[in-house]
């Protein structure tokens, strides 16, 4: 285990097994719908790569990048750094995210994509931290990998100052590692 990790919250095996379960559900849901699966960079990359390979029906891959988060605290303001490159009007769209925290990012992404008039728009997030949701956010995820307690986690795509994304598990950092 990495020396700056205090505790593993979700092991590689737990994550992979949950992704396999979700893959069956999503493959059933999107059969004959030719979905566009949109990943929100960069946190989602590791989850996206594993999840997409468990979706066994034809689909297209797209990515967008937003900017909203600095250090461990959300700034609250979101901007599009890179938009998707295809027209999703009339298409079935599935958003993949790493974590649903305050809800700022997903609320923004959801509204941004709804404006492009997809036939349907659903959200699949690997992690959900409902305790952190900002009051007023009514948006809900359609598919959740794991509901987790209010802890700042890293690994499996999730970073602290751009590091730890390459850990194969999700863990909690030692408090002294923040300094
Ligand atoms: P929200 O806009 O829901 O507050 O935050 C979503 C984004 O904040 C995530 O996509 C992720 O980049 C970042 N974030 C939220 N919670 C955590 C966490 O526990 N660990 C890490 N590494 N990033 C987080
Ligand atoms: Mg993210």
Which numbered ligand comes closest to the C-alpha of 128? 1
pLDDT in tens, 55-74: 999 999 999 999 875 544 55
What's the pLDDT band for 178 if we cut at 50, 70, 90?
A: confident
Distance 71 CA to ligand 2 centre (A): 13
Q: What local confidence, expressed as pLDDT, does residue 1 receive?
A: 85
Report the pLDDT value the prediction gives residue 71, as an integer from 0 to 100.
Answer: 46
Q: Which of 2, 32, 83, 101 is catalytic?
A: 101
> Tell me: the pLDDT tens digits for 85-121?
999 999 999 999 999 999 999 999 999 999 999 999 9
CA of 80 to the centre of ligand 2 (A): 13
47: tokens are 């989850």
Q: Which residue has the higher pLDDT, 75 or 166?
A: 166
Q: Whose CA is nearest to atom 23 of ligand 1?
A: 158
How high is the mean pLDDT of the chain? 94
Q: For this structure, is 101 an active site residue?
A: yes
* Confidence tier at 10 by pLDDT (50, 70, 90): very high
Residues 25-45 have pLDDT tens digits of 999 999 999 999 999 999 999
- pLDDT value of position 73: 53
- The answer, yes or no, to whether any atom of ligand 1 lies below 6 A from the CB of 125, is no
């Amino acid at each position: 285990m990495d020396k700056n990790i205090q505790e593993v919250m979700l092991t590689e095996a737990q994550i992979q097994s949950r992704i396999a379960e979700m893959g069956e559900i999503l493959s059933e849901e999107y059969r004959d719908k030719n979905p566009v699966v949109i990943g929100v960079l960069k946190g989602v990359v590791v989850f996206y790569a594993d999840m997409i390979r468990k979706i066994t029906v034809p689909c297209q891959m797209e990515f967008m990048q937003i900017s909203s988060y600095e250090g461990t605290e959300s700034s609250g303001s979101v901007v599009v750094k890179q938009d998707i490159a295809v027209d999703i009007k009339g298409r079935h769209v599935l958003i993949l995210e790493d974590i649903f925290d305050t809800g700022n990012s997903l609320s923004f992404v959801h509204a941004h994509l709804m404006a492009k008039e997809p036939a349907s728009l659903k959200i699949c997030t690997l992690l959900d931290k409902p305790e952190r949701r900002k009051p007023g956010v009514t948006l809900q995820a359609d598919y959740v990998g794991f509901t987790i307690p209010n802890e700042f986690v890293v690994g499996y795509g999730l970073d602290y100052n751009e590091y730890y994304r390459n850990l194969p598990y999700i863990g909690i950092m030692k408090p002294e590692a923040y300094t």
